[in-house]
Chain A
Amino acid sequence: MLQRLWKVLCSLKLTIILASAATALTIVGSVVMIRYPKTFGMLDEMVLGAWFSRFGHSNYALTGWFWIVCLLFILLGINTLCCFLDWLPKVRYRWRKSGEYLIHLSFILLLIAFIWGSASGDRSQGHRIPVGATLDLAKIAPGYQLQLNAFSPTFSPEGRPDDLPSTLTLFKDGIVVKTGTIRLNHPLTYADLVILPGSLAQQVDGFRFSGELELRPGSIVRQADGTALRVITFLPDVMLRNGRIFPGGAELNNPAFELELIAPGQEPWRGWYLLRQPLPSPLAAAGFALQPIEPLVTWLSILTINRDPGADLALLAAWCMAIGVLFALISFYDKRQRGDAPDII
């Protein structure tokens, strides 16, 4: 009984049936994929395990085929593994098939790597980070933090972003584990993490005033009599309700500075300066004439941060497959030259 089952699991016909079924179902399923982008368009946004838990159970009429394709691939993997294990003890006299069986092994490794990554990996896009800031990756990779040291996007003559180089430092529990510059096709990888440039955005973080005066959080303007004006906060958009200031959105709309005025021999004054309104009287009285000219804009790097514990195994599978392919190629010509006839069933 077990021997018969083993024979079935190792059988070439099973391989062809499974591969044909997976091919045919994927062809049909691809039409469903195109027609229902809301469901299937998210497949690249998240790992497969997360996709299945979010969309896989919602409508089996739509996703049923995908479940079956995945099952067929797992069965194909088992079939391939059995074929490989069946060949392994015969390697001494069937070594000319090494290339083909290396391809089989790499397919199994790739399948394991993909299932591993799909089950315990993660994908996240749209991490906006300004230069100098640190991002806590607790949600994606607990214990990790990411700091953006520099961001210098380059643009084509048409104004399209050409590349998005970001110099990053990755910390684990506060200790630097990797530093590097990422750009298109050059991610930062560490353990199972891969950090890639995603996009860019602009952030207004201050204002330029008449007299080439630039104010950002932390800026201090001193006058000859020792009076100092310190910028505490800048918000690109605020709302005023019952005399109190509330932060609005990230877009430049109703900008405001929270300022502190320190004059010798006087109590410090602290208050808000809404740029659409006149200068607060204590500032005017202290001799400040702030005339807003234009916003000060800095770039934000928008990063994609993925975690795939199976990536290294997948890379090993890729190497294994490439070597297998070359071996198979050599042995193909060798067999043809020797006039070896394959085993026909």
Chain B
Amino acid sequence: MDLTRILLPLAFGLYLIAFVLYLLHFKGRQASVAKGAFWSIVAAFALQSFVLGQRWISAGYLPVTNLFSTLFFFSWALAAVYLYFELRYRIRAIGLFVIFLNLLLLGAALPRDPVLKPLIASLDTPLFTLHIAFSFFGYAFFAMAFSLGVLYLLQRIIDSAALPDLYTLRRLNEEAIFLGFILFTLCMIFGSIWAYVAWGYYISWNIKSVWSLVVWLFYGGMCHAKFIRRWQGGVYAGLSIAGFAIVLFTYLGIGLLLSSNHPLD
């Protein structure tokens, strides 16, 4: 029996419940509702972790090689990142937007074929595992920053008591960008070492690599931009949204629309 086909829709359902509960919490601000949403996410994340572990063991490699598995892994990493922020800062209303993003990712993965194919020999290296894991955790933090950026701009307009204040949102956004940049840097380091041992050069001018450099440069710039007073707040939030557009194009746009050395299906 394929556990992936059973447990993933279940996880999707739990995320959906969490989303609805967060929506209710946003309106009514009842602590018990937010608690219910949080535990739904914990349960969904636990299911996803179990599926990931089971697939990893049965494949013998970290199964993040096609569109289904990358969407699934991205969704899992985003849930992990959300739980990190939730457990660290207890800011539940943020979950509304992040879980919506997660639903989109997991929802896009569900109709696809989860079959595990044998790993092609060139990917059979620990450098692949490290490169891919750091890459998607970096993406997840950038997705978190995107959500925080949107919420920052929203809070500036609606000034809701259900959302954290602008200062907190800005600080969380800066943290998400910083952690995303750190992880994406590690992804680039392992990717470059892998490129050297596989191709004999560490910087490739393939379109995917060029856009990865763009992502790195963009978020590197953002790590500096937070020190400029005029750019803090609105500009920074806007940049977080623009940055995620670059991330999405690097991940999905190039993988699906263009020919690159990182194809997705």
List A residues at the B interface (Cβ < 8 Å): 12-13, 15-16, 19-20, 22-23, 26-27, 30, 33-34, 40, 43-44, 103, 114, 117, 123, 156, 162-163, 184-187, 194, 196, 304-306, 308, 311, 314-315, 318, 321-322, 325, 328-329, 332, 336, 342-345
Q: Known: A33-B207, A325-B186, A329-B182. Contact between A185 and B258, CB under 8 A?
A: no
Q: In angstroms, how far is the closest chain A Cβ from the Cβ of B158? A: 27
- In the complex, the answer to whether B193 meets A12 with C-beta atoms within 8 Å is no
B198 neighbours in A (Cβ, 8 Å): 184-185, 196
Q: In angstroms, how far is the closest chain B Cβ from the Cβ of A181? A: 14
Q: In angstroms, how far is the closest chain A Cβ from the Cβ of B176? A: 12
Q: Known: A20-B221, A196-B199. Contact between A343 and B227, CB under 8 A?
A: yes
- In the complex, the answer to whether B258 meets A34 with C-beta atoms within 8 Å is yes
Q: In angstroms, how far is the closest chain A Cβ from the Cβ of B210? A: 5
- In the complex, the answer to whether B207 meets A321 with C-beta atoms within 8 Å is no
B213 at the interface (CB under 8 A from A): yes
Q: In angstroms, how far is the closest chain A Cβ from the Cβ of B242? A: 10
- In the complex, the answer to whether A185 meets B224 with C-beta atoms within 8 Å is no
- In the complex, the answer to whether A345 meets B207 with C-beta atoms within 8 Å is no
Complex CA gap A131/B210 in Å reads: 38
Query: Which of B200, B205, B220, B221 lies at the interface centre, i.e. has the most chain A CB atoms within 10 A of its CB?
Result: B200
Question: B20-28, B108-116, B122-130, B146-154: which lies at the A interface?
Answer: B122-130
- In the complex, the answer to whether A304 meets B200 with C-beta atoms within 8 Å is yes
Q: Which 3 A-B pairs have the closest CB atoms?
A: A43-B205, A19-B221, A306-B200
- In the complex, the answer to whether A13 meets B228 with C-beta atoms within 8 Å is yes
Q: In angstroms, how far is the closest chain B Cβ from the Cβ of A301? A: 15
B121 neighbours in A (Cβ, 8 Å): 162-163, 184
Given contacts A26-B213, A33-B205, 11 further A-B contacts (CB under 8 A): A15-B221, A15-B224, A16-B228, A44-B206, A186-B197, A196-B198, A304-B200, A306-B200, A314-B192, A321-B189, A328-B182
Count of chain B residues with Cβ under 8 Å from any Cβ of A? 45
- In the complex, the answer to whether B205 meets A44 with C-beta atoms within 8 Å is yes
- In the complex, the answer to whether B207 meets A12 with C-beta atoms within 8 Å is no
A interface secondary structure, majority = helix
B84 neighbours in A (Cβ, 8 Å): none
The count of A-to-B residue pairs whose CB atoms sit within 8 angstroms is: 110
Contact check: which of A184, A325, A332 meets B185 at CB < 8 Å? Answer: A325
Q: In angstroms, how far is the closest chain B Cβ from the Cβ of A151? A: 16
- In the complex, the answer to whether B178 meets A184 with C-beta atoms within 8 Å is no
Which A residue's beta carbon lies closest to that of B260? A34
B87 neighbours in A (Cβ, 8 Å): none
- In the complex, the answer to whether A26 meets B202 with C-beta atoms within 8 Å is no
B204 at the interface (CB under 8 A from A): yes
- In the complex, the answer to whether B201 meets A23 with C-beta atoms within 8 Å is no
Q: Known: A16-B224, A19-B221, A34-B258. Contact between A306 and B210, CB under 8 A?
A: no
B217 at the interface (CB under 8 A from A): yes
- In the complex, the answer to whether B189 meets A26 with C-beta atoms within 8 Å is no
- In the complex, the answer to whether A44 meets B197 with C-beta atoms within 8 Å is no
A336 neighbours in B (Cβ, 8 Å): 175
Contact check: which of B200, B213, B228 meets A344 at CB < 8 Å? Answer: B228
- In the complex, the answer to whether B228 meets A12 with C-beta atoms within 8 Å is yes
Contact with A along B204-245 (1 / 0, CB 8 A): 111100110110011011001111110010000000000000
Q: Known: A20-B221, A318-B189. Contact between A185 and B127, CB under 8 A?
A: yes
Complex CA gap A321/B20 in Å reads: 43
Q: In angstroms, how far is the closest chain A Cβ from the Cβ of B43? A: 29
Which A residue's beta carbon lies closest to that of B206? A44
A314 neighbours in B (Cβ, 8 Å): 192, 196, 202
Contact with A along B155-199 (1 / 0, CB 8 A): 000000000000000000001001100100110010011101111
Complex CA gap A30/B136 in Å reads: 23
- In the complex, the answer to whether B178 meets A26 with C-beta atoms within 8 Å is no
Q: Known: A185-B122, A311-B202, A321-B189. Contact between A12 and B224, CB under 8 A?
A: yes
- In the complex, the answer to whether B227 meets A345 with C-beta atoms within 8 Å is yes
- In the complex, the answer to whether A27 meets B214 with C-beta atoms within 8 Å is yes
B46 neighbours in A (Cβ, 8 Å): none
Which B residue's beta carbon lies closest to that of A31? B207
A-B contact pairs, 28 of them (CB 8 A): A16-B225, A19-B217, A19-B220, A23-B221, A26-B214, A26-B217, A27-B214, A27-B246, A30-B214, A33-B207, A33-B210, A44-B199, A44-B201, A44-B205, A123-B200, A162-B121, A184-B122, A185-B124, A187-B197, A194-B196, A306-B201, A311-B202, A314-B196, A325-B186, A329-B179, A344-B227, A344-B228, A344-B229
